[in-house]
Structure 1
Amino acid sequence: MAEKSFKYVIVGGGVAAGYAAREFAKQGVQPGELAIISKEAVAPYERPALSKGYLFPEGAARLPGFHVCVGSGGERLLPEWYSEKGIQLILGTEIVKADLVAKTLVSAAGEVFKYQVLLIATGSTVIKLSDFGVQGADAKNIFYLREIDDADKLVEVIKAKKNGKAVVVGGGYIGLELSAALKINNLDVSMVYPEPWCMPRLFTAGIAAFYEGYYANKGIKIIKGTVAVGFTTDSNGEVKEVKLKDGRTLEADIVIVGVGGRPLISLFKGQVEEEKGGIKTDAFFKSSLPDVYAIGDVATFPMKLYKDMRRVEHVDHARKSAEQAVKAIKAAQAGKSIEEYDYLPYFYSRSFDLSWQFYGDNVGETVLFGNNDPTSANPKFGTYWIKDGKVLGAFLEGGTPEENKAISKVAKLQPPVESLDLLTKEGLAFACKI
């Protein structure tokens, strides 16, 4: 097959790829200079929609409605936008070999792509129960949610198993958002996770108690402290039961697994420096090779605010790291320099009528403030994380845009705290006066 050559190649077609393309267009890219190679069959889209609006029984999100960059209030980049800008979208194409010294990529079909500058935006892949040899984990109707194809299959089975039983394995982001979506579809939902409370990487016991109470009031059964160790199937090979480690068995028509992901960097192993499970980069997302950049989930970068190296799996960082890398590439070519990446960690989630935001670092002691009664009509509560006498992190459920802005400012400025008791009493007022 004939080789194709580009000045810039983005490998991966998720959020980071779309935002990088927009930044290239802003910075000035000539027709034919840039290609995006994605194994997905559609142009880059806002991935968070898949676990939220996509599964709604009414008014569901559908493409082209959530192509990038609508998630951050920007213009929607339809496939035509890429062709208008002379950016080549090479879809349905999986790269299976990368030679970073020879600057060559090879697809599963044997196509060869040459580049001068590479942006690695391969994101994460889901961790599957079959990876651990869980018995029956390859049964039909056991789902993982990562791509639009996964979401489409899930939509079909939700219709087919109307009023059926769903078991969600995992108590993190995906577990919480999908349990809510399944419940809205009138399924009988059980959540199973091994930890003592949901979302333990971020939530304190106090925060988690609210969400577990709220979900229980919605009729979602929560089973903590155990894991799925096997599945039984019916004569069609469809999942019928989930066997738990504690000896219990749950009936299931649908199982959704959300037990985390891992960065997709196997193509580049041994060719670039790695750290903390990702590709090590500088503050401009340049890897140990001068013409190779890594953005989004796959990058381990210097977190200026905390003076350490971090890897962040979140849509906000995918967007911002993509823009930073492209600005850095174009500035270097013009003999200019740009500011180092100065990122404030930000996470958010929406489910049912709830909406929370978190900024900063969840380390140190914590205080809980506000109304966190799960039966309340208008719950609004939050938590501050305090270390070395300073507020390093802030969480808020039910905040207004102004209040969310205030907690982000607190996490960024890290104001000193006189006493934890006083901070608890002041609550949100502390953030709003900074």
Structure 2
Amino acid sequence: MAEKSFKYVILGGGVAAGYAAREFAKQGVKPGELAIISQEAVAPYERPALSKAYLFPESPARLPGFHVCVGSGGERQLVEWYAEKGIALILSTQIVKADLASRALISAAGETFKYQILIIATGSSVIKLTDFGVKGADAKNIFYLREIDDADKLVEAIKSKKNGKAVLVGGGYIGLELSAAMRLNNFDVTMVYPEPWCMPRLFTAGIAAFYEGFYANKGIKIVKGTVAVGFTADANGEVKEVKLKDGRVLEADIVVVGVGGRPLSVLFKGQLEEEKGGIKTDGFFKTSVPDVYAVGDVATFPLKLYNEMRRVEHVDHARKSAEQAVRAIFASEHGEPIDEYDYLPYFYSRAFSLSWQFYGDNVGEAVLFGDNNPASENAKFGSYWIQDGKVVGAFLEGGTPEENKAIAKVAKVQPPAGSLDQLAKEGLTFAAKI
């Protein structure tokens, strides 16, 4: 098979790849120097759309509407954009071997791609119930959501199982956003998760109580403290029932599973230093091998604000880490200095009429403020996290852009907290003063 050579190769075709390509273009990459190799059949797109607007019954989002970089207010990069910039977009191509010593990537079809500088932007893969040998987990109409193909299959099932029953396994991002989407499609929806409340990695019991109440008011049933241990299928092999560990059995026409992901770094095992489940990098996203960078979900990097190594799975970090790596590559080529990555952790979600943002770290003691009554017309509430007498994290539901900026500033500046009662009383006023 033919061998192709490029100065720069981005492996992966997700959000990070699209934002890296934009930064390459800004930095003046020459035609023919850069290639993006992606397993997907389409140019990089804003992945969060898949669990939100893509599934709306009215005016759903569709490509080319959400190609990068529209998610951050930038230009939409269609296939033509890459062609105009002289960037090779190598789609539907699976890389099965990475030989970092000889700077070569080998595809399933036997093609070899040589590079001088490699950016690993492979993201995460979803954890599947079949990985744990859950009985019947290979039945039809059991879905996972990671790529546009997954979303398309789910859309088809929603049409064919009109007004049916949907079971969401997992109480994190996917569980919360997809149960809302399924309810909007008029499905009878049940969410199942093992934890005592939803989104336990971020939410406190007080925050979760609002969302669980709000979802219950929308007609979504919530089953906590148990897991799916098996599925039964009908004569067509389509899922019919979900068996729970506590003995309950739920009817289901569609099951959507969201139980987490794992970084896709298997091609580099034993070739790159790893830490905390990801590929270890420095503040410029350089790995332990010269001229190899890792960005987004796969990178474990020094989080300057907290002086520790972290891996962050979120679209915001995917975008910003990709841009930082490309800037670092050009800075080193020109012998110029560049600041280390200084990231403020940021997470957000939208479902129904709700929209929350979180900045910083959810460690230490938490204090709740505002109106978190799920029955309120315009509920607006938030939380601060306090550690060592400083506010280190802030969460806000229903905030305006200015208010969201204010809580971001709080998390970055880490002001002294004063008393918890005082913080609860002041609420957003505290953030506005910083």
How far residue 417 of structure 1 moved from its aligned partner, in angstroms, is 1.3
1:119 alignment counterpart:
119
The 5-angstrom pairing of residues 199-210 of structure 1 reads 199-210=199-210
Secondary structure of residue in 2 paired with 1:25: helix
Instruction: Provide runs of 4+ in structure 1 moved above 2 Å.
Output: none
1:274 alignment counterpart:
274
1:176 alignment counterpart:
176
Secondary structure of residue in 2 paired with 1:395: strand
2:190 alignment counterpart:
190
Distance 1:46 1:366 in 2: 32
Distance 1:210 1:419 in 2: 24
Q: Give identity over the alignment, percent.
A: 83
How far residue 280 of structure 1 moved from its aligned partner, in angstroms, is 0.1
2:380 alignment counterpart:
380
Instruction: Give structure 1 stretches of 5+ with no counterpart.
Output: none
2:249 alignment counterpart:
249
Letter in 1 for 2:32: G
1:218 alignment counterpart:
218
1:11 alignment counterpart:
11
How far residue 109 of structure 1 moved from its aligned partner, in angstroms, is 0.5
1:97 alignment counterpart:
97
Letter in 2 for 1:82: Y
Q: What root-mean-square deviation, in Å, do the aligned CA atoms of Structure 1 and Structure 2 show? A: 0.3
Distance 2:125 2:138 in 1: 17
- The CA deviation string for residues 19-40 of structure 1, in whole angstroms up to 9 with x for no partner, is 0000000001111000000000
Letter in 2 for 1:120: I
How far residue 326 of structure 1 moved from its aligned partner, in angstroms, is 0.1
Distance 1:12 1:147 in 2: 12
Secondary structure of residue in 2 paired with 1:331: helix
Distance 1:10 1:368 in 2: 43
Secondary structure of residue in 2 paired with 1:377: coil
1:433 alignment counterpart:
433
How far residue 418 of structure 1 moved from its aligned partner, in angstroms, is 1.4
- The CA deviation string for residues 168-201 of structure 1, in whole angstroms up to 9 with x for no partner, is 0000000000000000000000000000000000
1:326 alignment counterpart:
326
How far residue 18 of structure 1 moved from its aligned partner, in angstroms, is 0.2
Distance 2:366 2:249 in 1: 37
How far residue 290 of structure 1 moved from its aligned partner, in angstroms, is 1.2
Distance 2:83 2:47 in 1: 22
Distance 2:254 2:420 in 1: 45
2:303 alignment counterpart:
303
- The CA deviation string for residues 37-82 of structure 1, in whole angstroms up to 9 with x for no partner, is 0000000000000000000001100000000000000000000000
How far residue 104 of structure 1 moved from its aligned partner, in angstroms, is 0.4
Distance 2:420 2:239 in 1: 50
Letter in 2 for 1:266: V
Distance 1:351 1:278 in 2: 30
Secondary structure of residue in 1 paired with 2:211: helix
2:78 alignment counterpart:
78
Distance 2:301 2:267 in 1: 19
Distance 1:285 1:119 in 2: 9
Distance 1:242 1:337 in 2: 56
How far residue 412 of structure 1 moved from its aligned partner, in angstroms, is 0.1
The 5-angstrom pairing of residues 53-72 of structure 1 reads 53-72=53-72
Instruction: Give structure 2 stretches of 5+ with no counterpart.
Output: none
TM-score (norm 1): 1.00
2:167 alignment counterpart:
167
Letter in 1 for 2:363: V
Secondary structure of residue in 1 paired with 2:395: strand
Letter in 2 for 1:115: Y
Secondary structure of residue in 2 paired with 1:157: helix
Letter in 1 for 2:346: Y
Number of equivalent positions: 434
Letter in 1 for 2:9: V
How far residue 95 of structure 1 moved from its aligned partner, in angstroms, is 0.3
1:26 alignment counterpart:
26
Secondary structure of residue in 1 paired with 2:310: strand
Distance 1:299 1:67 in 2: 23
Letter in 2 for 1:19: Y
2:284 alignment counterpart:
284
Letter in 2 for 1:28: G
Secondary structure of residue in 1 paired with 2:50: helix
Secondary structure of residue in 2 paired with 1:58: coil
Letter in 2 for 1:258: G
Secondary structure of residue in 2 paired with 1:197: coil
Distance 1:60 1:280 in 2: 38
Distance 1:377 1:59 in 2: 25
Distance 1:417 1:38 in 2: 47
Distance 1:37 1:135 in 2: 36
Letter in 2 for 1:430: F
Distance 2:368 2:335 in 1: 49
Distance 1:163 1:357 in 2: 32
Distance 1:354 1:290 in 2: 45
TM-score (norm 2): 1.00
